[in-house]
Amino acid sequence: MQHYPILSIVTLFLGAFLTVIFGSKNETVRKFIALVASSISLILVLMLIKPVMIENNVIQYWMGNWRPIHDWAIGIGLEVDSLGLFFGIIAVVTIFLSIVFSFRYTEKDSETDKYYVLFLMLSGSVLGLVFTGDLFNMFVMIEIMTFAAVGLTAFRNYQEGALEAALKYLVLGSIGSSLVLAGTITIYSQVHTLNMAQISALLFNNLTPSTLFAFALLLAGYSLKAFVVPFHPAAPDAYMSAPSSISMAFSGMVNKAGVYAIIRLVYVLYHAMSFKSIQLLLIIIGTITMFVGVTMALAQNDFKRLLAFHSISQIGYVITAVGVSTALGLTAGLYHALNHTLFKGLLFLTAGAVFYATGTTDLNKLGGLAKKMPQTAAVFLIGAFSISGLPPFNGFVSKWLVYQATYQANLAPVTIVALLVSVMTLASFIKVAQSIFFGQMPKEFENVKEVPLSMRIPMWIMAILCVLTGIFPNFVTKYLISPAVSAALNVGKYIDIMMGNGYAEKILGKPVEIPAVDYVLAGYWNPVAWLVLFALLLLAVTIVAVAGGFNTASLPVDGDDSKYEVFFGGEANEYSHVKGNDLFWGLKYDLRHYFGFMHDAHSGIINDYALWAIFTTTIFIVYIFLLVP
């Protein structure tokens, strides 16, 4: 049980290398290796849940058995507490489903062996980052992750914009990595150790200016990896041009890894959550990210680009909730991170299915696919309703927790912005639903067929997960989220396990009690009873229908009887599908100055984005030096 974390990481990397050796020629061998590697790591991580989450102990593993001598950690240590495992589960589930999806999804692409190699490297590095207990090892994993991601963004290099997106991601990613490296080095120069537990013990209320400088750099670097607003422009292009199974992994794992790093940095390493200013900084970033992300998404014309901006805005939710340092805030943040991975992954898979079936994801070209691809449309609706937070689905519970947390921390404007953003999310997904799945179907998609089964299975799994996490919030929080929150808040145990007992007695305050999110707190009426209502009402409506003098719906008979044509003001039905940017004219007209400014700000030139990144890093540094004591 001690070796599961390292084994799960190694199997993924091993899978990558084996694919290079054996899989380069034969397609099925490649798929087999990828499937085996991801399922082994999935099983290993899921087996970790019982010891870490339920029995609440922390697994520590020293590479090469280099245990700390005289209380000084030299070797690289893996440390899996429930916070790390929580993100690990998210990552592993996303990896497995994404690989199953990409079997048939990438059959039209050439050289898919490079796809699987890079993908396994990406997943191995994310798992490594989440399980590691060593700061420099975290930097190495972030490096691997960034470069694998850049490679995967440019995987379909025949698509226009793919190479440019990869270059943008490369430039911004390397800026982020260099910031992280600089931060790590400055910390090392101060505390002469790289083991996070020991750093956290040594940094406990003796924050010298250079550790503050390191804190600012690390915060900037990690928030760049999480694509927070000032650093976000690389994300939409990368998500758009990468294959959908990869952009699902991006939005499921890669920006979650960034969020994990921020939580680890702020809560565990620097115990910075006691400083009001840091909380305010995170909340401001989160709110701006939320708002900018969703307003930009409203103006998009491409399905995947719209989803990319939504990922940014949902990460804004998570960071705002994490910024509210109360236990409820962190619970809301983590719960929303889990939900976000589920419904965003589901939506990216539907985007992939639409791309696979029609060859384009442009909102202005598609239409009326619900008749040809009913299951994809149903799954898309589940995803769209969950992301916009409608009650029976999971988005509602986590968003509600975010509002409750922010409003209890006396942040009324943030709650109002959050609710407004949630409505705008609903608006943009109605736009997608109308432009792609409903309305009239253009001629060229006449013979579009439903996507093959192996692509629909992961979609349905995620849809069911979306509904389950929405219907049983207290079950999910009790087993998954509360342990993670307690791990993040009481840091003492994290340190003692690694450095031997008694090392962190000055930090060992009394453990913060975690409010179990049950129906009273979640304020959500017991959804099971809601399902009973659903059944009762359906019964009532059918009774009225049967008893009443109803005549059954007259379904359209073939032939061209114009009774079943759509009412077109009397005209014959020609193709006039209301789609893409015909929608929300009123809103765009009223906010045209804002959209104009946003349009210019996202100029698409790399040095503008690099300027944005450096500018915000300096703001972080100045802010942290001024406000933190």
Binding positions for other proteins, 548-577, rule CB under 8 A: 548-556, 561-573, 576-577
Asked if residue 30 lies in contact with residue 23, where contact means CB atoms within 8 angstroms, the answer is: yes
Of residues 34-73, those binding other proteins (CB under 8 A): none
φ, ψ of residue 68 in degrees (nearest 5): -65, 135
Distance CA(124)–CA(231), nearest Å, equals 25
Using the contact rule CB under 8 A, the part of the chain among 95-103, 127-135, 210-218, 415-423 near other proteins is 415-423
424 binds other proteins (CB under 8 A): yes
420 binds other proteins (CB under 8 A): yes
Alpha-carbon separation of residue 546 from 265, 283, 412, 534, 535 (angstroms): 62, 54, 49, 18, 16
Smallest separation (angstroms) from other proteins to the CB of 104 = 25
Distance CA(431)–CA(538), nearest Å, equals 29
Asked if residue 126 lies in contact with residue 152, where contact means CB atoms within 8 angstroms, the answer is: no
The residue to which tokens 């990481």 are assigned: 9
Smallest separation (angstroms) from other proteins to the CB of 126 = 33
Smallest separation (angstroms) from other proteins to the CB of 383 = 14
Asked if residue 215 lies in contact with residue 242, where contact means CB atoms within 8 angstroms, the answer is: no
Smallest separation (angstroms) from other proteins to the CB of 192 = 45
Using the contact rule CB under 8 A, the part of the chain among 72-80, 151-159, 194-202, 384-392 near other proteins is 384-392
87: nearest Cα among 544, 414, 599, 488: 488
Smallest separation (angstroms) from other proteins to the CB of 34 = 36
Of 404, 474, 482, 616, which one interacts with other proteins (CB under 8 A)?
A: 404
Measured CA angle at 107 (ends 103, 109), to 5 deg: 125
389 binds other proteins (CB under 8 A): yes
538 binds other proteins (CB under 8 A): yes
Distance CA(282)–CA(267), nearest Å, equals 12
Interface size with other proteins, residues (CB under 8 A)? 87
403 binds other proteins (CB under 8 A): yes
546 vs 626 by CB, closer to other proteins: 546
Using the contact rule CB under 8 A, the part of the chain among 448-456, 487-495, 533-541, 613-621 near other proteins is 533-541
457 vs 520 by CB, closer to other proteins: 520
φ, ψ of residue 195 in degrees (nearest 5): -80, 125
271: left (phi over 0), alpha (psi -120 to 50) or beta: left
Distance CA(193)–CA(191), nearest Å, equals 5
250: nearest Cα among 137, 382, 374, 340: 340
371 binds other proteins (CB under 8 A): yes
Of 209, 359, 523, 596, which one interacts with other proteins (CB under 8 A)?
A: 523
Of residues 441-460, those binding other proteins (CB under 8 A): 441
7 vs 516 by CB, closer to other proteins: 516
Smallest separation (angstroms) from other proteins to the CB of 583 = 4
431 binds other proteins (CB under 8 A): yes
The residue to which tokens 């920006």 are assigned: 255
Rounded to 10°, the helix 374-387/453-471 angle is: 30
Of residues 101-140, those binding other proteins (CB under 8 A): none
Smallest separation (angstroms) from other proteins to the CB of 419 = 5
Of residues 572-601, those binding other proteins (CB under 8 A): 572-573, 576-579, 582-587, 589-590
385 binds other proteins (CB under 8 A): yes
The residue to which tokens 């300027």 are assigned: 611
Of 96, 222, 250, 400, which one interacts with other proteins (CB under 8 A)?
A: 400
Smallest separation (angstroms) from other proteins to the CB of 472 = 16
Smallest separation (angstroms) from other proteins to the CB of 302 = 18
Measured CA angle at 68 (ends 62, 69), to 5 deg: 145
Smallest separation (angstroms) from other proteins to the CB of 303 = 16
Of residues 341-370, those binding other proteins (CB under 8 A): 368, 370
The residue to which tokens 């397609």 are assigned: 27
136 vs 595 by CB, closer to other proteins: 595
Using the contact rule CB under 8 A, the part of the chain among 110-118, 132-140, 320-328, 423-431 near other proteins is 423-431
Map 531-551 to HEC letters.
HHHHHHHHHHHHHHHHHCCCC
316 vs 389 by CB, closer to other proteins: 389
Distance CA(172)–CA(162), nearest Å, equals 15
Smallest separation (angstroms) from other proteins to the CB of 340 = 18
Of residues 454-513, those binding other proteins (CB under 8 A): none
Exposure letters 416-451 (e unless 16+ CB within 10 A, then b): ebbeebbebbbbbbebbbbbbbbbebbeebeebebb
Distance CA(349)–CA(248), nearest Å, equals 7
202 vs 390 by CB, closer to other proteins: 390
Smallest separation (angstroms) from other proteins to the CB of 365 = 15
Of 101, 275, 291, 438, which one interacts with other proteins (CB under 8 A)?
A: 438
Distance CA(209)–CA(622), nearest Å, equals 12
Smallest separation (angstroms) from other proteins to the CB of 283 = 17
Smallest separation (angstroms) from other proteins to the CB of 428 = 9
532 binds other proteins (CB under 8 A): yes
80: nearest Cα among 47, 120, 112: 47
Of residues 240-259, those binding other proteins (CB under 8 A): none
Strand 77-80 with 59-62, pairing? antiparallel
Distance CA(350)–CA(244), nearest Å, equals 9
The strand pairing partners of 72, in sequence order, are 69
